[in-house]
């Protein structure tokens, strides 16, 4: 196969300009990743470069394995051991080779976030500092940012420690590094920082790798941080064959230390750099590109480029205003059903949202219609740790003898109730024929130490109190009480990291789910709520490559889909609220929106709601400013056929007029004919169990399932 086949002029030039520094700066979908892949094949096949003299960096492991696959196809040969990998994997490989020079053993271990946090805890103890004031996750974040910019503890102290607290933070950083080394361990950020250190200190070692990596290629260059930049700069110094591809308009990891200056300064740092622009887009229709171009033109400080495509026409972009977030989900899912009926496969479709908490409404609606889905890059809503925790609390309140749930939360948040304590309580329970929860009340009668007894009893106290509230307060109020009384929320708040923030958002979203349930089912109680949740959270898992895809915009980078739904297009949500009064954050949000728009190949559907319950609050929403900036004169008015179920009608779905009974034959929009085998009363709705010829047994809501009695 000719390697230059299927490339346009500038792409060919980018592939064949093999020597010297090269910056390929190009918009989304213009073939940057494709160029890198062909370039590797070209170097090997035409330039006869040994595969081991090439280092190619991708942003994710998945992208690395895809790139390997493509190169293998182009070369018709295996490239298994080639250096096509992420920065982190490449650095591990280098460090296995050289870590001894830094005083580590070859067999050093790699700490993940939770290992790092326990180590920070132990450092705090060592230094006699209170974890309440020096929150471990927050500290790890600070240390991580320092490492991203290659600041060791000394530099960090010199540059940032100017008051009592920051001096202590510097000491924690120093102690943390000392302990890591003592334990022969490195955290994720060390992998990059230590590799750079190794190269800076040991010239012969550097020389060896400079000679090896004669050709260096980096994808998604706009999202590299300073440490990664230093690394490629130092490695490429000898041969100077460095090719980076990126799009300044798609830099979206500023909050993780990515430095957009790396792309803007490339020409200065690599004199004689050649710059190639790719402007033809092969991914999207002209209508989608116009939207992307219009939007991003609102950012200042760009290199400036415009995309075009030969793919004129295409369907109009759809803009849909929903009454609230549930109507939004209903509209999206009904459109998905329509698209599937028109021949799209469910995996052609992606729902993109700004924050993970937004997935809940869509998950529930898709589950209702038994449409398979995958939540990528994060767990399904009801599988997230904090949601499982709160559900376990509610289950114990409902039924204190539920041991599985009890064990999940007895030490969550941490109350010093360790495994030994639990063992003893369990033994006491077994020998006295009582439940574990009952046994906990008698902790004083066991051999536990006074401190352990205190921990257990304080837990029982809180739970007894919550149990006594159960029948007097609403479900949502009960959830709030649990979060307060157990200190769960407090601890998350004090962590103050993007991760803890997202957990809080999810919990608030859970409160919202409880409120919705109360509104729809005023007569139902906690037990019903829990039963309902069990149904939603129990959908079969899917094989890879099946089902509607759901993810945040961040995780969609580099991907493409025939159909893209961008949901929650509201000011304060997308752009996110903290960007509203900060120009820099706003520009990053706009780039994020640009990434979202440019994932679409054929159809782009944007939705927003007039009011939204999110994080447990109801807000009146303003459409996202990005919609105006996208500036489409004619959004499609009536994009999808009206469904048999009314998608536009606000408020509750009217109670079903059909009288369903066991034995009745019904026709379902997607699955064809089936027979009702069970009818369960669910308050204002009925749950129907139907056996379909096509798909077997399904449980559906009588109110909204697209059913007709035959």
Q: Tell me: is residue 33 an annotated ligand-binding position.
A: yes
Residue 522 contacts which entry, ligand ATP, Mg ion, none (Cβ below 5-8 A, type-dependent): none
Name residues contacting ligand ATP, limited to 192-221 (CB under 6 A).
none
Q: Tell me: is residue 547 an annotated ligand-binding position.
A: no
Toward Mg ion, which CB reaches closer, 194 or 601? 601
| Contact predicate 635/317, CB 8 Å | yes
Toward ligand ATP, which CB reaches closer, 28 or 151? 28
Q: Tell me: is residue 27 an annotated ligand-binding position.
A: yes
Contact between 7 and ligand ATP by CB under 6 A: the answer reads yes
Residue 531: exposed, middle, or buried by beta-carbon count in 10 A (0-12, 13-18, 19+)?
exposed
Of the candidates 42, 37, 190, the one whose C-alpha atom is nearest the C-alpha of residue 104 is: 190
The continuous run of DSSP H or E covering 407 comes out as helix 403-409
Q: Tell me: is residue 31 an annotated ligand-binding position.
A: yes
Give the one residue of 3, 14, 22, 31 binding ligand ATP; rule: CB under 6 A. 31
Beta partners for residue 506, in sequence order: none
Q: Tell me: is residue 32 an annotated ligand-binding position.
A: yes
Contact between 73 and ligand ATP by CB under 6 A: the answer reads no
Alpha carbons within 13 A on the beta-carbon side of 514: 25
**Minimum distance from CB of 288 to ligand ATP (Å)?**
12
Give the one residue of 3, 23, 25, 28 binding ligand ATP; rule: CB under 6 A. 28
Contact between 415 and ligand ATP by CB under 6 A: the answer reads no
Q: Tell me: is residue 26 an annotated ligand-binding position.
A: yes
Residue 8 contacts which entry, Mg ion, ligand ATP, none (Cβ below 5-8 A, type-dependent): ligand ATP
Contact between 547 and ligand ATP by CB under 6 A: the answer reads no
Contact between 10 and ligand ATP by CB under 6 A: the answer reads no
Toward Mg ion, which CB reaches closer, 70 or 384? 70
- Residue-wise DSSP of 487-499: SHHHHHHHH-SHH
Of the candidates 642, 699, 703, 648, the one whose C-alpha atom is nearest the C-alpha of residue 671 is: 699
**Minimum distance from CB of 29 to Mg ion (Å)?**
8
**Minimum distance from CB of 32 to Mg ion (Å)?**
5
Residue 31 contacts which entry, ligand ATP, Mg ion, none (Cβ below 5-8 A, type-dependent): ligand ATP
Instruction: Please state whether beta strands 318-322 and 600-609 pair in parallel, antiparallel, or not at all (unpaired).
Output: parallel
Give the one residue of 8, 86, 166, 684 binding ligand ATP; rule: CB under 6 A. 8
The edge-to-edge listing of strands for the beta sheet with 54-58 is: 83-86, 54-58, 215-218, 242-246, 22-26, 274-278
Q: What is the 3-state secondary structure (H, E, C) of 425-488?
A: HHHHHHHHCCCHHHHHHCHHHCCCCHHHHHHHHHHHHHHHHHHHHCCCCCHHHHHHHHHHHCCH
Contact between 285 and ligand ATP by CB under 6 A: the answer reads no
Distance of alpha carbon 682 from alpha carbon 661, whole angstroms: 14
Toward ligand ATP, which CB reaches closer, 127 or 297? 297
Toward ligand ATP, which CB reaches closer, 33 or 532? 33
- Residue-wise DSSP of 221-236: GGG-BHHHHHHHHHHH
Contact between 558 and ligand ATP by CB under 6 A: the answer reads yes
Q: Tell me: is residue 28 an annotated ligand-binding position.
A: yes
Distance of alpha carbon 217 from alpha carbon 40, whole angstroms: 9
Of the candidates 140, 105, 110, the one whose C-alpha atom is nearest the C-alpha of residue 123 is: 140
For helices 359-368 and 325-341, give the axis angle rounded to 10 degrees. Answer: 50
Of the candidates 62, 77, 1, 66, the one whose C-alpha atom is nearest the C-alpha of residue 37 is: 66
**Which residues, in sequence order, are CB contacts of 642 under 8 Å at separation 6+?**
none
Contact between 34 and ligand ATP by CB under 6 A: the answer reads yes
Residue 18 contacts which entry, Mg ion, ligand ATP, none (Cβ below 5-8 A, type-dependent): none
Toward Mg ion, which CB reaches closer, 338 or 560? 560
Toward ligand ATP, which CB reaches closer, 251 or 476? 251
Interface residue list for Mg ion (CB under 5 A): 32-33, 558
Let me know the angle formed at the C-alpha of 569 by 329 and 594, rounded to the nearest 5 degrees: 120
**Residues classed as catalytic:** 32-33, 219-220, 250, 599
Toward Mg ion, which CB reaches closer, 32 or 141? 32
Of the candidates 55, 33, 4, 13, the one whose C-alpha atom is nearest the C-alpha of residue 209 is: 55
Distance of alpha carbon 678 from alpha carbon 696, whole angstroms: 14
Output the six-digit token pair for 58.
């991708």
Give the one residue of 38, 39, 226, 283 binding ligand ATP; rule: CB under 6 A. 283
Residue with smallest beta-carbon separation from ligand ATP: 31
Contact between 282 and ligand ATP by CB under 6 A: the answer reads yes
Give the one residue of 21, 29, 512, 568 binding ligand ATP; rule: CB under 6 A. 29
Contact between 301 and ligand ATP by CB under 6 A: the answer reads no
**Minimum distance from CB of 635 to ligand ATP (Å)?**
24
Number of residues that bind ligand ATP (CB under 6 A): 18
Cα-atom radius of gyration of the chain, to the nearest Å? Answer: 28
Q: Tell me the window of 24-32, 262-270, 398-406, 427-435 that interacts with ligand ATP (CB under 6 A).
A: 24-32
* Segments in 571-678 forming alpha helices (H): 583-597, 625-630
Residue 247 contacts which entry, Mg ion, ligand ATP, none (Cβ below 5-8 A, type-dependent): ligand ATP
Site residues (CB under 6 A) for ligand ATP?
A: 6-8, 11, 26, 28-34, 247, 250, 282-283, 558, 560
Bind-site residues for ATP: 26-33
């Amino acid at each position: 196969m000719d390697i230059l086949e299927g490339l346009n002029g500038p792409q060919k030039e980018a592939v064949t300009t093999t020597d010297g520094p090269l910056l390929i700066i190009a918009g989304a979908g213009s073939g940057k990743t494709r160029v890198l892949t062909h370039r590797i094949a070209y170097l090997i096949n035409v330039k006869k470069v040994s595969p081991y003299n090439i280092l190619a960096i991708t942003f994710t492991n998945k992208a690395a394995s895809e790139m390997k696959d493509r190169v293998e196809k182009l070369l018709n040969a295996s490239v298994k051991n080639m250096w096509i990998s992420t920065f982190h994997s490449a650095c591990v490989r280098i460090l296995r080779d050289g870590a001894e020079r830094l005083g580590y053993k070859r067999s050093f271990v790699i700490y993940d976030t939770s290992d790092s946090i326990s180590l920070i805890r132990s450092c705090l103890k060592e230094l006699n500092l209170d974890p309440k004031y020096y929150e471990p996750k927050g500290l790890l974040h600070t240390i991580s940012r320092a490492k991203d910019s290659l600041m060791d503890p000394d530099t960090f102290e010199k540059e940032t420690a100017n008051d009592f607290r920051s001096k202590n933070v510097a000491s924690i950083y120093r102690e943390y590094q000392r302990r890591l080394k003592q334990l022969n361990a490195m955290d994720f950020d060390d992998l990059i920082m230590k590799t750079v250190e190794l190269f800076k200190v040991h010239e012969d070692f550097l020389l060896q790798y400079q000679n090896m990596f004669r050709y260096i290629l980096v994808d998604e260059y706009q999202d590299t941080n300073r440490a990664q930049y230093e690394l490629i700069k130092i490695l490429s110094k000898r041969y100077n064959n460095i090719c980076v591809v990126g799009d300044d308009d798609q830099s979206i990891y500023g909050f993780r230390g990515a430095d957009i200056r790396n792309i803007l300064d490339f020409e200065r740092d690599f004199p004689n750099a050649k710059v190639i622009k790719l402007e033809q887009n092969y991914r999207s229709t002209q209508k989608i590109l116009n939207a992307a171009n219009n939007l991003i033109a609102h950012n200042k400080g760009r290199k400036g480029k415009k995309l075009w495509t030969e793919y004129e026409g295409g369907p109009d972009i759809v803009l849909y205003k929903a009454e609230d977030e549930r109507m939004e989900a209903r509209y999206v899912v009904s459109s998905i059903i329509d698209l599937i009926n028109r021949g799209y496969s469910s995996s052609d479709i992606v729902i993109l949202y700004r924050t993970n908490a937004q997935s809940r409404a869509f998950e529930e609606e898709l589950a209702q219609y038994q449409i398979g889905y995958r939540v990528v890059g994060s767990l399904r809503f009801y599988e997230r740790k904090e949601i499982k925790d709160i559900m376990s609390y509610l289950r114990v309140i409902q039924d204190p003898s539920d041991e599985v749930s009890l064990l999940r939360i007895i030490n969550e948040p941490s109350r010093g109730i360790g495994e030994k304590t639990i063992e003893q309580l369990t033994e006491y329970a077994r020998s006295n024929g009582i439940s574990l929860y009952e046994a906990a009340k008698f902790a004083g009668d066991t051999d536990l130490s006074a401190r352990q007894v205190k921990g257990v009893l304080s837990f029982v106290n809180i739970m007894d109190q919550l149990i006594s509230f159960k029948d007097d307060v609403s479900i949502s109020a009960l959830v709030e009480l649990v979060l307060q009384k157990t200190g769960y929320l407090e601890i998350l708040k004090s962590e103050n990291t993007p991760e803890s923030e997202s957990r809080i958002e999810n919990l608030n979203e859970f409160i919202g789910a409880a409120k919705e349930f109360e509104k729809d089912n005023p007569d139902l109680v906690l037990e019903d709520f829990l039963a309902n949740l069990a149904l939603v959270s129990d959908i079969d898992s899917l094989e890879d490559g099946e089902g509607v895809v759901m993810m945040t915009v961040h995780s969609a980078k580099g991907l493409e889909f025939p159909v893209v739904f961008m949901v929650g297009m509201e000011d304060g949500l997308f752009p996110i609220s903290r960007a509203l009064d900060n120009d820099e954050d706003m520009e990053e949000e706009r780039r994020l929106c640009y990434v979202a728009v440019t994932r679409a190949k054929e159809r782009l559907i944007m939705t927003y709601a007039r009011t939204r319950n999110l994080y447990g609050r109801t807000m009146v929403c303003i459409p996202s400013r990005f919609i105006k900036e996208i500036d489409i004169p004619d959004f499609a008015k009536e994009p999808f056929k009206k469904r048999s179920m009314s998608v536009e009608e606000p408020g509750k779905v009217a109670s079903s007029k059909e009288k369903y009974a066991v034995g009745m034959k019904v026709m379902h929009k997607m699955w064809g004919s089936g027979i009702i085998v069970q009818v369960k009363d669910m308050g204002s709705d009925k749950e129907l169990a139907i056996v379909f010829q096509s798909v077997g047994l399904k449980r559906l809501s009588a109110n909204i399932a697209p059913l007709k009695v035959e």
